[in-house]
Amino acid sequence: MFSLKLFSTKDGVTEALPRLAEAEADVQGLVEGAMEAMLGVRFLASEYSTGPVHGGRIDSLGLDENGAPVIVEYKRSTDPGVLSQGLFYLAWLMDHRTEFQALVRERLGMTEASRILWSAPRLICIAGDFTRYDLHAVREHRRSIDLVRYRFYGQHHIGLETVASVAAQGRVAPRLRRRGADLSVPVRRTCEAMTDLATAVDEALLGLGGDVAKVERKQYDAYQRLRNFACVSSRQDKLLVYLKAAPTAVDLVPGFTRDVTGLGHHGTGDLEVQLRSDRDLVRALEMFRLSYDAAA
């Protein structure tokens, strides 16, 4: 049951009743036309053929904000086969990496093709609803899977609700640190303090909700609920957290928060938060929540 209630306040208050699409293609066409805004995924291809051996067509192929390959499958209403079908295509994708890389190179360029995160491919299923067996299967699976329920409201609104989400923890290159015996006491204490702070930030971001997934890259850790809402990058004396919260929605404080719109940095987000202590983390918690809510 879709839990959102939407009301129009024009000429009084009128509830916009939820409805399913008349055809699966209506959902697919709308999402593909605005995939980056709706899912945080760059669109690559529609109805992509898996060839004569597998004999299928992947509804949508994309690349997410962290460089992970994404398969999106759509169903108009409830279909008990949507998860199995998506996992079948995900297995095909992992066996055809060269073909997918060529597609990314053609659509997004050589740089993006060289940065594909093969350790964390994703499956996003968008449907009118899911069975309890789907919800259980997602929790038992090792792949990154999002089950998203949709509803249309009136002629100009669509609602998306993530009903289940799991993330596969990919392997990343270790972040090397010199042995403590080789460091001076002040430097060693700084490293230990940053490690403790990073652990606290990780717990705070994961603790925002049961639907938060963590994706590790060499340059940053991303926290997402369908889309990224926070990216954490480590420095020697601080942590940089990039949030999807609008910089205009907070009071910017020099040395603590900064508008990085249009500036290059690791991860995604236009609001930079600099954390040097537990006190800074406490100050940032409200902004973490604001960004988390914005990514719903």
pLDDT tens, position by position, 207-255: 998 888 899 988 999 999 889 999 999 988 899 999 999 999 899 999 9
- Mean residue pLDDT of the chain comes to 88
pLDDT at 181: 46
**What letter does residue 90 receive in the DSSP assignment?**
H
* pLDDT tens figures, 80-96: 899 999 999 999 999 99
Residue 155: which pLDDT band, with cuts at 50, 70 and 90? confident
* Contact in structure between 269 and 278 (CB atoms under 8 Å): no
Q: What's the average model confidence in pLDDT over 142-165?
A: 90
50 has a pLDDT exceeding 70: yes
* Contact in structure between 77 and 20 (CB atoms under 8 Å): yes
159 has a pLDDT exceeding 50: yes
Rounded to 10°, the helix 97-108/82-95 angle is 90
The percent of residues in the chain predicted with pLDDT above 70, rounded, is: 91
Higher-pLDDT residue of 154, 262: 262
Residue 177: which pLDDT band, with cuts at 50, 70 and 90? very low
pLDDT at 191: 79
Q: Say how far apart CA 31 and CA 148 lie, in whole Å.
A: 12
The percent of residues in the chain predicted with pLDDT above 90, rounded, is: 65
Q: What's the average model confidence in pLDDT over 34-58?
A: 92
Q: What's the average model confidence in pLDDT over 20-30?
A: 95
176 has a pLDDT exceeding 70: no
180 has a pLDDT exceeding 60: no
Residue 71: which pLDDT band, with cuts at 50, 70 and 90? very high
265 has a pLDDT exceeding 50: yes
pLDDT at 44: 98
Q: Say how far apart CA 190 and CA 264 lie, in whole Å.
A: 27
8: Cβ–Cβ under 8 A, 6 or more apart, which residues? 14, 15, 16, 154
Straight-line distance from the first to the last Cα atom of the chain, in angstroms, rounded to the nearest whole number:
17
Instruction: Describe the chain by its helix, strand, coil percentages, rounded to 5.
Output: 35, 30, 35
Residue 169: which pLDDT band, with cuts at 50, 70 and 90? low
